[in-house]
C-alpha cells in the first residue's frame, strides 16, 4: 500500500493551501481530488480579503494574485461597505478575482513544491488505528497515512465517515446561481423585491472608482431567489426560468447555461475539527451563506493554522496535543463567521422593518469605531487567538514592518516565506538565546523605530521582542527580559533539542 505522512482529501483552496504549507515544511503530502484538473465549473468566490492577501504575501506569492485581480474595498456588513484604506497593513483592500483563477494560481504554486496528486479519484472512506489511517479510494486502492485531513467541502465524506456531528441552522432562504446567455439584456446590478434580492452581472468586469463596471459582452451571472427552500435536487434551466419569471416577470430569454447551482443560508459547523488522526478544514468544517465572502478566506486560513502544527507533529518535534490548538483557535473563528453571516442574511430580508434596521446598522457602521471593529472582523485582520493575557500583540497577526537587520532592510513577511517560526529581537543583539530551538526557529536581531499599530486597536506599546509562529501570529511578546520565552518556545515548537529524545 502506498504511504504518505499526510493525505488530504480535496484540492479546493483549503486543500491546496494545506498541501503547500506541509510541503514547505518538508512533509510527504498527497492530495486526492475528484476533479481531473483544477478547472472549476462556475465562478463561486469572488475574491480575497486583506488577511488572506497578507498570508499569501507571507509565503511570497501575493503578487501572483494581485497581478491578475482588481484591488477594491470589498469588506462590508449587511450591505454597508466598510472602507479599510486607513488600516495599518500593506494591503488595505481586498481583491476581486474569481475562485477559478484563485485555484489555478494556488495549484501553480503547489505544483512547484513536492506534493503528490491523485487526481480524478475520490476518497470513499477510511479506518484509523493507533499508528495511522487507511484511506479508501474510488478505484479500490488504498493509501496509508499518518494523518488524513478532510478538505473535501461542505458535503465532506471524511467528516461523515468520522462520525463528526455537524450541528447548526437549517436554511431560511435559497438562491439559484447560474452562468447563462440571455436573448434580452437584463438590468445589471443588485435589485430588491418583496420576494428577495436578485442580481445580474457579467463575468468580466472592471472596478472603476470603487464601482463595478461590467463588460458589454460575455456570459451573464444570475442570482435569483427560489420559493422552495428545502429543494435537494440539482437546479435545472427550467427551475431557473421559473424563478426568474416569478421574481422579474420574465426570464429574459435565458439559454445555454454553463453552470447552474444554488446556495442557501444554512449555517453548520463541525462539533470537533479533530478525531484522533483525522482532521477537518475549510468547508468540510463549516458552511454558511456566502454573504461577506468569507468561506474561501476562512478555509485558507484554517489550512495555514493547521499546516505547521501538523508538520511538527509528523516530524515528532511537537507532541500530538499541539493539534488540539487547531480546533481551539479555529473553531471560534468560524463560529463568529457563522454568526455574522446569520446576522447579515437577517438584514437582507426585504420588508419595511428590516429596511429600517438595515438603515440603523448602516448609520452605526458609519461611525469610526464600529466601522473599524466590523471591518477588522470581515477582512480577517482582527483575528485574535486566545493565548492568554498580556500584550495586545499576543495571539494577533504580526504586522509586516520594515525592519533593519544584518543584511539591510527587510520586511517581516519575507522572514516567513519558508514557513518557519522566527524570534525577532528589537533590543541588544545577542540578548536572547535560542540555541536549543535553532533547528526550528530563526533568531533575527533587528531595529525598528516606527509606530506599532494594529487594525481596530490602534497604537500599542513597542515590544522588545516577538516570537512569531509560522502562520504569522505572535506567540510571545518580550518586555525587556526573556521571561516566558522558554515556555512559549516549548509550547509552540516542542521541547528544546538537548532534552528531546
Ligand atoms: C456562490 C458562492 C459564492 C461564494 N463567494 C465567496 C466569496 O466571495 N468569498 C469567499 O471567501 N468564499 C465564497 N464562497 C465560498 C467558497 O467557494 C468556499 O468556501 C470555498 O470553495 C471552500 O474551499 P474548500 O477548499 O474548503 O472546499 P471546496 O472548494 O468545496 O473544495 C473541496 C474539494 O474537494 C473535492 N472533493 C469533494 N469530495 C471529495 C472526495 N470524497 N474525494 C476527493 N475529492 C473530493 C472537490 O472536488 C473540491 O475540489 C462562495 C461560495 C459560493 C457557492
Q: What is the pLDDT of residues 239-277, one digit of tens each?
A: 999 999 999 999 999 999 999 999 999 999 999 999 999
Q: How far apart are CA 30 and CA 13, in angstroms?
A: 15
Confidence of residue 197 (pLDDT cuts 50, 70, 90): confident
Task: Write out pLDDT tens, residues 276-305.
Answer: 999 999 999 999 999 999 999 999 999 999
Burial 313-334, CB ≥16 within 10 A → b, else e: bbeebbeeebbebbbebbbebb
What pLDDT, on the 0 to 100 scale, is given for residue 10? 98
**pLDDT on residue 84:** 97
Query: Which residue's C-alpha comes closest to atom 39 of ligand 1?
Result: 152
59 burial via Cβ count (<10 Å: 0-12, 13-18, 19+): buried
Residue 41: what pLDDT? 83
Q: What is the 296 CA–ligand 1 centroid distance (Å)?
A: 7
Q: How sure is the predictor about 137, in pLDDT bands with cuts at 50, 70 and 90?
A: very high
Read off the pLDDT of residues 327-376 as tens digits, 9 standing for 90 and up.
999 999 999 999 999 999 999 888 899 999 999 999 999 999 999 999 99
Alpha-carbon dihedral angle through residues 249, 255, 258, 261, given to the nearest 10 degrees = 30
Asked if residue 58 lies in contact with residue 401, where contact means CB atoms within 8 angstroms, the answer is: no
Q: Cα(285)–Cα(271) distance, rounded to whole angstroms? A: 8
Q: Where are the alpha helices (DSSP H) in 33-156?
A: 50-58, 62-66, 99-111
pLDDT by residue (tens digit) across 146-173?
Answer: 999 999 999 999 999 999 999 999 999 9
Pairing of strands 174-182, 254-264: antiparallel
Rama region for 212: left / alpha / beta (φ>0; ψ in -120 to 50; rest): beta
Angle at 130 between CA 165 and CA 317, to 5 degrees: 100
Give me the pLDDT at residue 237, please.
95
Instruction: Read off φ and ψ for residue 403, nearest 5 degrees.
Output: -120, 155
Given ligand 1 and candidates 44, 154, 177, which is best to mutate, with the most ligand atoms within 8 Å of its CB? 44
All 3 cell numbers of residue 483?
Answer: 521571561
Rounded mean pLDDT, 373-396: 97
Whose alpha carbon is nearest atom 26 of ligand 1?
A: 282
Per-residue pLDDT band at 500 (split at 50, 70, 90): very low
* Lowest pLDDT segment from 28-32, 189-193, 206-210, 338-342: 206-210
- pTM of the predicted structure, to 2 decimals: 0.95
Work out the pLDDT band at 194, boundaries 50, 70, 90: confident
| Beta carbons within 10 angstroms of residue 21's beta carbon | 26
Q: What is the mean pLDDT of the chain?
A: 94
Paired with 15 in beta bridges are none
Best probe residue, ligand 1, of 8, 10, 106, 205 (max atoms within 8 Å of C-beta): 10
CA of 107 to the centre of ligand 1 (A): 14
For residue 276, report the distance from its CA to the centre of ligand 1, in Å.
24
The dihedral of CA 180, 185, 187, 192: what is its sign? negative
Residues 444-467: what's their mean pLDDT?
95
Average pLDDT over residues 195-218: 84
Q: Residues 473-483: pLDDT tens digits?
A: 999 999 989 99
Whole-number pLDDT of residue 501: 41
Residues with CB under 6 A from ligand 1: 9-15, 32-35, 44-47, 99, 122-123, 151-153, 157, 177, 263, 282-283, 290, 293-297, 299
Cα of 45 from ligand 1 centre, angstroms: 8
Short-list 407, 395, 398, CA closest to 446:
407
What are the backbone angles phi and psi of residue 240, rounded to the nearest 5°? Answer: -65, -45
Using the 8-state DSSP alphabet, how is residue 88 labeled?
S
Q: How far apart are CA 46 and CA 74, in angstroms?
A: 10
Per-residue model confidence (pLDDT) at position 369: 97
Amino acid at each position: 500500500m502506498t504511504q504518505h505522512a499526510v493525505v488530504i482529501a480535496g484540492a479546493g483552496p483549503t486543500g491546496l493551501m494545506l498541501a503547500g504549507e506541509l510541503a514547505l515544511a518538508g512533509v510527504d503530502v498527497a492530495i486526492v481530488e475528484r476533479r481531473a484538473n483544477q478547472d472549476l465549473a462556475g465562478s463561486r468566490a469572488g475574491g480575497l480579503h486583506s488577511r488572506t492577501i497578507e498570508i499569501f504575501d507571507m509565503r511570497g506569492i501575493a503578487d501572483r494574485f494581485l497581478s491578475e485581480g482588481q484591488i477594491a474595498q470589498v469588506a462590508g456588513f449587511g450591505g454597508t461597505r466598510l472602507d479599510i484604506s486607513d488600516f495599518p497593513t500593506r494591503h488595505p483592500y481586498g481583491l476581486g478575482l474569481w475562485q477559478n483563477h484563485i485555484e489555478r494560481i494556488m495549484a501553480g504554486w503547489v505544483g512547484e513544491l513536492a506534493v503528490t496528486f491523485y487526481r480524478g479519484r475520490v476518497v470513499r472512506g477510511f479506518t484509523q488505528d493507533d499508528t495511522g489511517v487507511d484511506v479508501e479510494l474510488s478505484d479500490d486502492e488504498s493509501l496509508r497515512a499518518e494523518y488524513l485531513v478532510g478538505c473535501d467541502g461542505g458535503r465532506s465524506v471524511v467528516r461523515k465517515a468520522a462520525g463528526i456531528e455537524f450541528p447548526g441552522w437549517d436554511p431560511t432562504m435559497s438562491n439559484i446561481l447560474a452562468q447563462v446567455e440571455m436573448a434580452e439584456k437584463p438590468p445589471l446590478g443588485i435589485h430588491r423585491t418583496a420576494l428577495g434580492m436578485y442580481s445580474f452581472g457579467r463575468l468580466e468586469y472592471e472596478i472603476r472608482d470603487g464601482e463595478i463596471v461590467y463588460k458589454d459582452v460575455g456570459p451573464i451571472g444570475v442570482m435569483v431567489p427560489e420559493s422552495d427552500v428545502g429543494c435537494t435536487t440539482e437546479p435545472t434551466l427550467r427551475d431557473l426560468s421559473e424563478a426568474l419569471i416569478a421574481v422579474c416577470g420574465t426570464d429574459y430569454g435565458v439559454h445555454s447555461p454553463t453552470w447552474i447551482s444554488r446556495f442557501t443560508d444554512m449555517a453548520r459547523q463541525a462539533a470537533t475539527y479533530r478525531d484522533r488522526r483525522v482532521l477537518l478544514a475549510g468547508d468540510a468544517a463549516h458552511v454558511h451563506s456566502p454573504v461577506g465572502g468569507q468561506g474561501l478566506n476562512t478555509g485558507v486560513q484554517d489550512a495555514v493554522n493547521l499546516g505547521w502544527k501538523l508538520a511538527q507533529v509528523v516530524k515528532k518535534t511537537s507532541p500530538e496535543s499541539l493539534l488540539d490548538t487547531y480546533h481551539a483557535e479555529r473553531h471560534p473563528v468560524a463560529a463568529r463567521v457563522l454568526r455574522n453571516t446569520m446576522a447579515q442574511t437577517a438584514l437582507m430580508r426585504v420588508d419595511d422593518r428590516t429596511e429600517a434596521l438595515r438603515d440603523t446598522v448602516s448609520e452605526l457602521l458609519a461611525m469610526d469605531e464600529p466601522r473599524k471593529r466590523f471591518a477588522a472582523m470581515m477582512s480577517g485582520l482582527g483575528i485574535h487567538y486566545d493565548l492568554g493575557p498580556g500584550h495586545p500583540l499576543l495571539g494577533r497577526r504580526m504586522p509586516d514592518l520594515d525592519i533593519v537587520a544584518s543584511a539591510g532592510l527587510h520586511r517581516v513577511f519575507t522572514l516567513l516565506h519558508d514557513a518557519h517560526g522566527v524570534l525577532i529581537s528589537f533590543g541588544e543583539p545577542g540578548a536572547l538565546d535560542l540555541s536549543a530551538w535553532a533547528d526550528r526557529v530563526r533568531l533575527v536581531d533587528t531595529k525598528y523605530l516606527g509606530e506599532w499599530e494594529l487594525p481596530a486597536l490602534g497604537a500599542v506599546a513597542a515590544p522588545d521582542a516577538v516570537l512569531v509562529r509560522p502562520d504569522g501570529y505572535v506567540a510571545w511578546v518580550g518586555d525587556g527580559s526573556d521571561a516566558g520565552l522558554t515556555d512559549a518556545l516549548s509550547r509552540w515548537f516542542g521541547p528544546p533539542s538537548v532534552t528531546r529524545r
